[in-house]
Amino acid sequence: MIVFISGGVRSGKSDYAEERARLLYAKEQKNLIYIATSDVYDEEMHVRVKRHQEQRKRDEVNWKVYEKPSNIADLLSGFQQGDVILLDCVTTLLSNELFNGWQQGEKKWTSPSFIAEVEKKMIHLVSELAEGPYTAFVVSNELCFDLPPQDRATSIYIRLLGRIHQDIVSRAKEAVLIENRLVLLKKRGDKHDWNEK
């Protein structure tokens, strides 16, 4: 089962997702799993990751942490019924998958077949999370509210992210939007028809 939690940068979505995961874990008492997707590629990212690691160490609950910037589906077979998973976040994961090799000057993202391969991989992950015997809190950034981007890479990325978000929401049991620490429930239950009242 998926609970999808999205919002803008620094909206409070990760804090909300962590709190929801903790509350469910208190009822389930299986494993509390944190999948962190950040790839440490500069000093600013190193500081952010370190801060999150320190926060989790101070937490009252014992998170089992996987720091994995790509190929998340490889982890899923190790999780079991009743586990509570927090995946933070889809935007970073997609960036890692789509722009793989950019540090070496590679531009795989310019290939339509590579884009299709990344989308298929992401949709497969979403499907696995939705059908697994655990509860997965999936966090992502809302980036599609602004003016359309001018550069090609960002345009491809945002369009792909939008399609992945739609797929996540279609499979999610619940979808929540966080705006300035306000919780806006967008979906509850199994309704998939966006015209249904």
Tell me the HSE value of 92 on the side-chain side, using a 13 A CA sphere. Answer: 20
**Does the structure show a pLDDT above 60 at 74?**
yes
Active-site position among 46, 52, 124, 165: 52
Domain extents for the chain? 2-188
Grade residue 28 by pLDDT with cuts at 50, 70 and 90: confident
Nearest-angstrom CA–CA distance, 70 and 102: 14
pLDDT for the residue numbered 194: 38
Grade residue 105 by pLDDT with cuts at 50, 70 and 90: confident
63 within 8 A of 33, measured Cβ to Cβ: yes
Q: Residues 77-100: what's their mean pLDDT? A: 96
**Does the structure show a pLDDT above 70 at 107?**
yes
- pLDDT tens readout for residues 113-123: 999 999 999 99
Grade residue 193 by pLDDT with cuts at 50, 70 and 90: very low
Q: Residues 124-131: what's their mean pLDDT? A: 97
**Residue type at 154?**
T
What radius of gyration do the chain's Cα atoms show? Answer: 17
**Residue type at 72?**
I
Grade residue 40 by pLDDT with cuts at 50, 70 and 90: low
CB atoms within 10 A of CB 189: 7
In the annotation, is 52 catalytic? yes
Q: Residues 153-170: what's their mean pLDDT? A: 95
138 within 8 A of 87, measured Cβ to Cβ: yes
Average confidence score pLDDT of the chain: 88
**Does the structure show a pLDDT above 80 at 82?**
yes
Binding-site residue numbers for GTP are 7-14, 36-38, 67, 88
157 within 8 A of 22, measured Cβ to Cβ: no
* Cα first-last separation, the chain: 23
CATH topology of domain 2-188: Rossmann fold (3.40.50)
pLDDT for the residue numbered 52: 65
Binding-site residue numbers are 7-14, 36-38, 67, 88
pLDDT for the residue numbered 103: 80
